[in-house]
Amino acid sequence: MSGDEQQNEYQGDMQPEVDNPVSSDAQQPQDLEMGDDAAVEVPIVEDIPAEIPAVDATETAETTADGSAAPSQESTEETTDALQQKLEGVTGQYMRIAADFDNFRKRTEREKSDLEQRVKRETISELLPVIDSFERAKSHINPQTEEEINIQKSYQGVYKQLVDCLKRIGVAPMRAQGKEFDPNLHEAIMREPTDQFTEGEVMEELVNGYMIGDLVLRHAMVKVAAPAEPMLTSEENSPETLDSQAVE
């Protein structure tokens, strides 16, 4: 035996025999905490199968997150149809409500306009006799002195102011004289035979009529022309003619 072989054999005899050598540093602190006599539990790893069974995608799709079966295509279509019918019903109800509201708004606006016109007509109708009084006073009074002229100018100024105010709110006189008689606008007080006017023509406006827009505030009281009576000639007025007519 050579010297190298004797040295290796000697070193091998010097190494102590260890039954469970510690190969990882991570186990040393655990051994210190648990003590030298603590037992170490080693988990048992079962045999892993060589092949993992494939998961059926159809079965997975038919389940929901909570594990219950997902709805089928037929039930989904039924749900969609039900929701569609419900939507159509709500939409129809909304359209009916919108139409009712629009009709209510139009009716309210129309009633408001009619009320305003009625109140306006009633108020103005109360003022028309005052205008008539001013016009009669103007036609009957003939001022002579300077004081009378000043008084006439004063009340005529009030009359003019009142007429201008009525014009601004749409009131206008009819001016019926010389026009064809219209029962919708005129009220015939008398008929007078004449050959200066055609039959049915307004000869004179006795009481002025007024309108506001297209509405009649007060009908004009007028005198209407009637056909002129035929004139009898001298021969027709003779006694012989009258006697012959009496015999007949």
In the predicted model, is pLDDT for residue 146 greater than 60?
Answer: yes
Q: What is the pLDDT of residue 116?
A: 87
Give me the chain's average pLDDT, please: 74
Please report which confidence band the pLDDT of residue 55 belongs to, taking 50, 70 and 90 as the band edges: very low
In the predicted model, is pLDDT for residue 107 greater than 90?
Answer: yes
Please report which confidence band the pLDDT of residue 79 belongs to, taking 50, 70 and 90 as the band edges: confident
Q: What is the pLDDT of residue 45?
A: 47
In the predicted model, is pLDDT for residue 61 greater than 50?
Answer: no
User: What domains appear along the chain, each with residue ranges and CATH number?
Assistant: 172-229 (2.30.22.10)
Q: How many CA atoms lie within 13 A of 3 on its CB side?
A: 0
In the predicted model, is pLDDT for residue 115 greater than 60?
Answer: yes
Q: What is the pLDDT of residue 112?
A: 93
Mean of pLDDT values over 40-63 = 50
Mean of pLDDT values over 198-215 = 90
Among 93, 87, 95, 120, smallest CA distance to 217 is for 120
Please report which confidence band the pLDDT of residue 184 belongs to, taking 50, 70 and 90 as the band edges: very high
148-163 residue pLDDT tens: 888 888 888 888 999 9
Cβ-based burial of 224 (10 A; exposed 0-12, middle 13-18, buried ≥19) = buried
For the chain, the C-alpha Rg in angstroms (whole number) is 61
Q: What is the pLDDT of residue 97?
A: 93
Percent of the chain residues past pLDDT 70, beyond the cut: 64
Q: What is the pLDDT of residue 18?
A: 44
Q: What is the pLDDT of residue 30?
A: 43
* H helix runs in 141-194, sequence order: 146-168
In the predicted model, is pLDDT for residue 68 greater than 60?
Answer: no
